[in-house]
Structure formats: C-alpha cells, structure tokens
Amino acid sequence: MDMERARFNMVEQQIRPWRVLDEAVLAAHFHLKRENFVPASMLNLAFSDVEIPLIIDGNDTGERMLSPKLDARLLQAVAIRRGETVLEIGTGSGWMSALLADRAMRVLSFEVNPILAAFAKANLNRQGITQVEVTQANAVTEIDGQWDVIVACGGLELVPDFLLSALKPGGRLAVIVGKAPIMLAQCITKQAQGGFRTENLFETLVPMLHDFPRAARFAL
C-alpha cells in the first residue's frame, strides 16, 4: 500500500468533503500516522471510510475505531487551543488521543478495557506522544476536576450532569447521544455567564460507552 497516497485520499476524499475545513485538523491527519494505531491484522483498512474492529493479538475487544471523518468532525467541533487540557473517555487504539494531543497541553484518557489501554499506551509511546496519560479505569467513577475539552468516544443515551460539571467556563463537550437506529453528535459549550449552548453536528450510530447512565424506561 502507498501509505502517503492513501492518507491524502483519506483527507481529501473523506474528511474534507464532510465539512472539515479547519486547517489544524487537516494537518494533524497528514502528519500523524493513523496506520500506526490500527491493529496489524487490519492495516489494509487504516485509511478506509469504515469502523475498524479492535482485534488485538487475536483478542476481539468488541470495540471499534470510528471512521476517520467522524473523528475529524468531533475534533473540529471542540476547536482545541494551545495550552488547553482535554479529558477523553474511551481511548480505544489511542488514535483520537493522538489527534487531541496535537494541540492540547495535556490529555487524560480513560479506557475501561485493559487490553485496549495497553495497546493505546504502546502506540502513543512509539510515536513519542508524551502529553497523553492513559488510565485503565471506568471514567464514570474516576472523573475529577474541570477541563477545557471533554470528548466521549462512544455513544451515551443521555448527557450526565457530572460531565457538564467537569467543564470549565467556556469548555466544550463532544458527545454522541441517543440509541439505535439513530444517534446525534453534539458539541455542548459551557457559557461563561452560566448555562449551556448545544450545537447539533450530524447523525450517526456508534458503539455505546460502558456503565454510563441510561435514559428512563417507561412500562405500561
């Protein structure tokens, strides 16, 4: 595979046409090496417009890398500025962590699956990305402090209050909310004067994050 041609096609034929025009986001997809975050058995899909199963050394984790254009739209929406701090929920392969760290001062990433946590750490270390701290833990019980940006790399049935409380004034939260068959990606901004502003980004369908609160069920 011609990696550089495949990378160019990913950016110009998938990401840019999906209304990702932020030059910093596009540049990150050129100089970061997505192929180094993909399981070896899936290398031929590294730049494809698909979700990639995260099968690590024969272990099917049941999780998937999101498509490149989806990651890029979320990254563009939160508009990370130099020196900001980022909380990521669901490290996966470490690819989104690397994208976040391209501009952030610090990224703390929670991954509940120990196989994926180890895989992501190894991938990030090989690329010399030192500002990402991968923690193998359940974010639901471990989130602390306040952050400039929070990115949930999986689906939530609803946005819990503890995520909104973890935003600094002016902070942005990227989430994908709902349940099958259609979910909605949103960017929620905490207003400096109080309250929140929500921008609806696109409809999609992604795997759910583990152990987050679920919407109330009603029975007749």
What confidence score (pLDDT) does residue 90 get?
A: 97
- The yes-or-no verdict on residue 169 having pLDDT over 60 is yes
What confidence score (pLDDT) does residue 194 get?
A: 82
What confidence score (pLDDT) does residue 213 get?
A: 84
Our measurement of the distance from residue 70's CA atom to the centroid of its chain's CA atoms, rounded to an integer in Å, reads 9
What confidence score (pLDDT) does residue 211 get?
A: 85
- The yes-or-no verdict on residue 68 having pLDDT over 90 is yes
What confidence score (pLDDT) does residue 120 get?
A: 98
- The yes-or-no verdict on residue 193 having pLDDT over 90 is no
* CATH 3.40.1160.10 fits domain 3-204: no
**Rounded CA gap, 182 and 179, in Å?**
6
pLDDT over 70, % of the chain: 98
pTM score? 0.95
Instruction: Dump pLDDT digits (tens) for 145-166.
Output: 999 999 999 999 999 999 999 9
What confidence score (pLDDT) does residue 10 get?
A: 98
What confidence score (pLDDT) does residue 156 get?
A: 96
**Rounded CA gap, 71 and 74, in Å?**
5
- The yes-or-no verdict on residue 72 having pLDDT over 60 is yes
What confidence score (pLDDT) does residue 216 get?
A: 65
Kindly report each contact of residues 22-31 with a partner whose C-beta sits within 8 Å and lies 24 or more positions away, as own/partner: 22/75, 22/76, 22/79, 24/102, 24/103, 25/72, 25/75, 25/76, 25/99, 26/72, 28/75, 28/99, 28/102, 28/103, 29/68, 29/72, 29/99
Assign residue 206 a region: left if phi > 0, alpha if psi is -120 to 50, beta otherwise?
beta
Mean pLDDT, to the nearest integer, of 160-183?
Answer: 96
**Rounded CA gap, 106 and 20, in Å?**
24
What confidence score (pLDDT) does residue 217 get?
A: 59
- The yes-or-no verdict on residue 220 having pLDDT over 80 is no
- The yes-or-no verdict on residue 138 having pLDDT over 60 is yes
What confidence score (pLDDT) does residue 91 get?
A: 98
